[in-house]
Structure 1
C-alpha cells in the first residue's frame, strides 16, 4: 500500500461527475512497467466504497437528461471523442506499451480500433430502435421501442486497456445509459487517458464516471450496488461467476465475456505456410494474452511433422524484448503474477508428460532481467486431458495434438469447458461445413487465425466463455437496452 507522495511520476485521479478527484482513502497503487519492474508508469487511486457511491449517484442524476437526447445528438459526442483519441493515439499507445507490455504497433492498432468503434456506434444513433407490429385491433397502433437500462457498471481487463473499455462504453452511451467504469488496476493509467478523452470532448458531467481500485472493493461494489442496473464484465471465468451470482441476487442484468481455450485445426490439405503464420500470430502475438489466442494446435498426422518443422523454424526467429523497441515482435507478460502463472503451466506440461519442443524458460539475459519475459513455448505429445490442453494459460504457449481424422480433431477441439473462438485451415468444403456446424464456439474462422475479431460483428462465446449475450456490432443493443411494447388506441 502506497500513500500519495510528491513524485515526478503522474498520479491519476478518479473522474466523477465531471471532476478529477482524489480517492476518499487517500491511497494509490503504482502501475509498473512489465518490461522493467523498476519503472513506475504512474499512480492510480485505490478507491473505497464512498468513491463508488459518489460515482453511481452522479451517473444516476446525469442519466435523466442524457437519455432524453436524441440518438444523433449522443452520436455527435462519440464522434468528438473519437477525434480526441485520434489526436492522442501516439500518447495512448506508448502508455499502453509501457503499462502492459504489448508492442507499440499492437498498441497503436488497438487504439485505432477504439477510434473505429466510437465512430461505428456514433452512427448507431441514427438507426432504428423498434418495429411496428400488426395489432389485432384495426383501430390501434402497436410498436416496440428500446429504452436504456439506466446506470451500467463496466468492469474491464488489463489485456486490452483501450479497445475493450471503448467497446463497452460506446454502445452503453449511444443507447442512453450512463456509465461507471472500473478498469483493471494493472492497466488503469491507460484507461485514465481514455477517460481524459471523453472529458476533453465535452461529454456532460456524470455521463461517464471513472473509478479505480481493487476488484474486491470497487469490482464487488459494482456487483452489489443497488443503483447499478446492468453490469458488463470481461475477465476470468471465476470472477465472472461471482458477477453473475451477485447480479442475479439483486435482479440486475449482466453480461460476461470470460475465458477461452481456443483451437486451430490443421487439415492434411491445408496451406501450411499460411497456417503456420496464422498459428504463430494467433497464439503468440500480445504474448498470448488474448481471450481469443490460439492455444491448442490440432494437426492431422499426414502433415504433422512438416507443419511442426515450419512452425518451430518461425518461432525460433521471434524477437522478445521491450515493446517500444522497433525490432521487438513479442513483449513481456503483463505482470509478475501473470509470468508466474505461465511458468507454472509450463512446469505442469512437463510434469504431466508433454514434450517441450522449444522455450519454456524465463528470459533474464540481454537486458531483460528486470522484466517479466518468457520464451515462446511449444509442446508436443499433448493429450486432451492435460492441464495445458484444458485450462486457460493466457501466455505464449502452444500445445500440439496429433490426430488422424477431422472428426477426431473436432471431438478434441470441443473437449474443453470453453467455446470462445476456433479456426481451421483446409481447402475442403466438407471439412469447412463440418467445422462450421459442429464446432461449439461463438466465433469460428476458416483459413484465418483464431484471434481475429471485427468490431461490426457480434462477439461472444459458448459454454463457460460467455453468459450468452454478445458484444460489439448491432448485437450490443440487446444488452444495453430493454424492449418496451407500445399500444396506442385511437
Structure 2
C-alpha cells in the first residue's frame, strides 16, 4: 500500500486526526493507496497558508516574468514524469493508460502557455472625459483560489485551473476527488521541486462535507473553480454567492452527436465511438445522444454496433485495452440503474446492457459498451447524464428537427455533427446551444481554446486567453493633475 501525505504551507503532513481512507484500483476492485482524511481544520490551515503566501513572503514580490519562469519549469517537470504520473492516474481511476499518457504528455502545454502569458497581463490608459485627470487600469490577482477536481482526469482538469491562477499571481488550494487523490499529491511534489514558495500551492484531501464545504465558505477564499456534477456545482455556487466569491463551474452534459445523411460515414462512425466509449463514457463532454438522419439510420447504426462489438475490454494499464472499468462502485451502480430505466421506458437494447460475464472481469467495476435504439428525447436516458458507456440513438428527419432535439435539454456543454455541406456547418454550429461544437471531429481539446457550458452545464470558461480574466480583478486608478481642489460638495 502506497501511503500519502498532504501538502500544506510547504510541509508534508497527515491530517490533524491522523485518519486515512483507501483509494481503490477499479480494475481489481481492491485498495492500493492510503490517503489522508483531511478535515475542517486541515482545510482552514491550507487556506490560511495560501493567504499568508499571497499577502507576504516572496510570492507577491516576484515579477510576472518570474512567475512565468516557475510555471515553465513546472511544465518541464511534468513532461519528465509523464509516464509515472499517467500510471498512477490509471491505477487510481481505471482510465486507459493510452489516454492518461496522452493527457500527461499534453498537460505541460498549459503551464508553458500560461507561463508565457504571465507577463503579458496589461492594463489600459483611458482617455477619460474628465479634464486634468489621468486614468489607468490595473489587472490584479484575486487572492486565494480553490480548485475542486473530479475523478475522471484529475491532473488535466487541475491544469485548467491552476495554470491561469498562478500566472495571474494568485495562490491556490487544490481539493481532488476522494476517489482519485494520489496523482494530485504526486504532482504536488513537482510543484515543490519547481521552486514555488511555501503556501503558494496546497493540497487537502478528504470529503466534500468537511474539506469541500470549508474551502467554499472560508473568508479568505476569493474564487472557486469546480469541475463535476450539476448537483454539487449548484451547492458550491449557492455557498459561494453568500460571501460574493467568484466561481467557475464546469458541470454536466448530455451532448448531442448528430450525423446527417451526407456525412462521410466511416469517419462519423469512428467519431461516434470515440464520443461515447472512449474514457468508458466517463467524461462530461461525452456524445451520449446520437441523432441520426432517418434515411441512413439503420445502415449507420449497424456500422456503429459492429465497431463497438470489437472494443477490447481489459486491464487499463495494457496498451491493447480500449474500454476499461468505471472508476467507482457508486458510479457502477448508477450506470446499471440507468440501463434498467432505459429498458423500462421502452428503449431497445441492441448491444451490451450489463456487466461482462467473463471471469477476468469479475473483480473489476466493468460495464459493457451499451447501445439503445428507439429512444425518444423525453426519456430519462436521453435527458439525464449517465456518465458511462451508454449510447442513446434518436432518429430525425430534417435539419430543423435535429437542432430542436439537440437543444431540448437543460445541458449545453458540447455538441458534435457530421456533414459535408459548408452552409449547413455554419447554420447548425450557430444554432446549437453549447459551449463547444465539433464539426467532423469529436473530443478535440486545446489549452488555447475556451471550454465551458451553456445553461446547466456551468458558468465561465476555462483555457485560452479569456480564461485568465477569471483569475483577475480590474482596478481603476484616477490621478488629478489639477492645481486646486474643485467644489467638495459636488461630484467631479
Q: Same fold (TM over 0.5)?
A: yes
* Per-residue deviation, 1:139: 4.4
State the structure with more CA Rg: 2
Structure 2 counterpart of 1:221: 214
Does structure 2 retain, via aligned residues, the 8 Å contact 1:32–1:99?
Answer: yes
Does structure 1 retain, via aligned residues, the 8 Å contact 2:44–2:215?
Answer: no
* Per-residue deviation, 1:211: 0.3
**Using the alignment, how far apart are the partners of 1:339 and 1:364 within structure 2?**
15
1:258 aligns to 2:270 (yes or no): no
1:489 aligns to 2:471 (yes or no): no
Structure 2 counterpart of 1:342: 335
Structure 1 counterpart of 2:467: 476
Q: 5+ residue gaps in structure 2?
A: 482-492
Structure 1 counterpart of 2:32: 41
Tell me the secondary structure at the aligned position of residue 137 of structure 2.
strand
**Using the alignment, how far apart are the partners of 1:141 and 1:278 within structure 2?**
55
Normalising by structure 2, we get a TM-score of 0.95
Structure 1 counterpart of 2:386: 393
Normalising by structure 1, we get a TM-score of 0.96
Structure 2 counterpart of 1:24: 16
Tell me the secondary structure at the aligned position of residue 25 of structure 1.
coil
**Using the alignment, how far apart are the partners of 1:234 and 1:25 within structure 2?**
28
**Using the alignment, how far apart are the partners of 2:401 and 2:274 within structure 1?**
25
Q: CA RMSD in A?
A: 1.1
**Using the alignment, how far apart are the partners of 2:207 and 2:278 within structure 1?**
28
Structure 2 counterpart of 1:3: none
Determine which of 78, 81, 96 is the counterpart of 2:71.
78
Structure 2 counterpart of 1:180: 173
String of CA shifts for 1:244-303, please: whole Å, max 9, x gaps: 110111121111110000011111111111110011011111101111111000000111
**Using the alignment, how far apart are the partners of 1:316 and 1:437 within structure 2?**
35
Structure 1 counterpart of 2:127: 134
**Structure 1 segment 72-221 matched on structure 2, within 5 A:** 72-137=65-130, 139-221=132-214
* Per-residue deviation, 1:398: 0.8
* Per-residue deviation, 1:140: 3.6
String of CA shifts for 1:351-380, please: whole Å, max 9, x gaps: 100000101111242411110011101010
Does structure 1 retain, via aligned residues, the 8 Å contact 2:351–2:369?
Answer: yes
Does structure 1 retain, via aligned residues, the 8 Å contact 2:434–2:454?
Answer: yes
Deviates more, 1:400-409 or 1:193-202: 193-202
Tell me the secondary structure at the aligned position of residue 163 of structure 1.
helix
String of CA shifts for 1:172-205, please: whole Å, max 9, x gaps: 1110110111000111011111111101212110
Does structure 1 retain, via aligned residues, the 8 Å contact 2:121–2:139?
Answer: no
Tell me the number of residue pairs that the alignment of Structure 1 and Structure 2 aligns: 479
1:303 aligns to 2:296 (yes or no): yes
Structure 1 counterpart of 2:4: 12
Determine which of 427, 431, 449 is the counterpart of 1:457.
449
Structure 2 counterpart of 1:66: 59
1:312 aligns to 2:318 (yes or no): no
Structure 2 counterpart of 1:5: none
**Using the alignment, how far apart are the partners of 1:41 and 1:483 within structure 2?**
46
Determine which of 24, 43, 51 is the counterpart of 2:42.
51
Determine which of 265, 270, 292 is the counterpart of 1:272.
265
**Using the alignment, how far apart are the partners of 1:138 and 1:67 within structure 2?**
35
Does structure 1 retain, via aligned residues, the 8 Å contact 2:449–2:464?
Answer: yes
**Using the alignment, how far apart are the partners of 2:418 and 2:364 within structure 1?**
36
Does structure 2 retain, via aligned residues, the 8 Å contact 1:66–1:177?
Answer: no
Structure 2 counterpart of 1:367: 360
**Using the alignment, how far apart are the partners of 2:205 and 2:276 within structure 1?**
30
Structure 2 counterpart of 1:292: 285
* Per-residue deviation, 1:73: 0.5
**Using the alignment, how far apart are the partners of 1:237 and 1:98 within structure 2?**
26
* Per-residue deviation, 1:478: 2.0
Q: 5+ residue gaps in structure 1?
A: 1-8
